[in-house]
Amino acid sequence: MNCEDIRESLLTDYPDGQLTAEREEDINQHLSACVQCRKFSDAVCRSLVEPFKGAKKISLPQDKVWRNITQRIKEEQAPAHLSNPFVEMILRAREAITIIKPAFALLAITVITLIAMGYFNTRNPEVADISGSSESDAQYIRYVADELSVNQSDDTVDYGTDIENYFL
């Protein structure tokens, strides 16, 4: 045990008698050996314990204490009842809107983006006339494929190395 642990116990459980007998014996042994901790213990007794020696002890059942605490918490959390039902309805609607703000914002951004894409794509003539350009692209691809198949045969392919010629 070090002095820091002893001082913490002297401030918390030791004056109240809430320590185990073993822990209290360890603290008493340390206080008999350590002058600084003994002075600290005397200061704690003078300032924290002695002023309350004559105070009357009140013992309440723990369940009653906890019941009172939970009741006070519930009272603090309970909203004040409003006399106007219209105001209550507006407050409930406001709470519902507050919950769905992020989802509504994402939906609005998506809708605006889709509308903008549709508008700008139809305003651009190259993008708007997709059907005509796709037909000409298909004709060009057919032409290139035909030329490659006519001009290339397995016999005319030359890779240029002896090992490739041997295996092919």
Question: How many domains is the chain built from?
Answer: 2
Looking at the fold, whether 108 and 36 belong to one and the same domain comes out as no
Domain-terminating residue out of 78, 104, 135: 78
Please check whether residue 51 lies inside any domain of the structure: yes
Q: pLDDT digits over 125-143, tens only?
A: 555 555 455 667 778 788 8
Domain assignment of residue 15, given as a range: 1-78
Domain-terminating residue out of 13, 47, 78: 78
Q: pLDDT digits over 94-108, tens only?
A: 777 666 777 778 888
Please check whether residue 159 lies inside any domain of the structure: no
Please check whether residue 164 lies inside any domain of the structure: no
pLDDT band at 119 (very low <50, low <70, confident <90, very high): confident
Looking at the fold, whether 113 and 146 belong to one and the same domain comes out as yes
Looking at the fold, whether 90 and 126 belong to one and the same domain comes out as yes
Q: What is the pTM of this model?
A: 0.36
Nearest to 106 by CA among 94, 95, 114: 114
Please check whether residue 15 lies inside any domain of the structure: yes
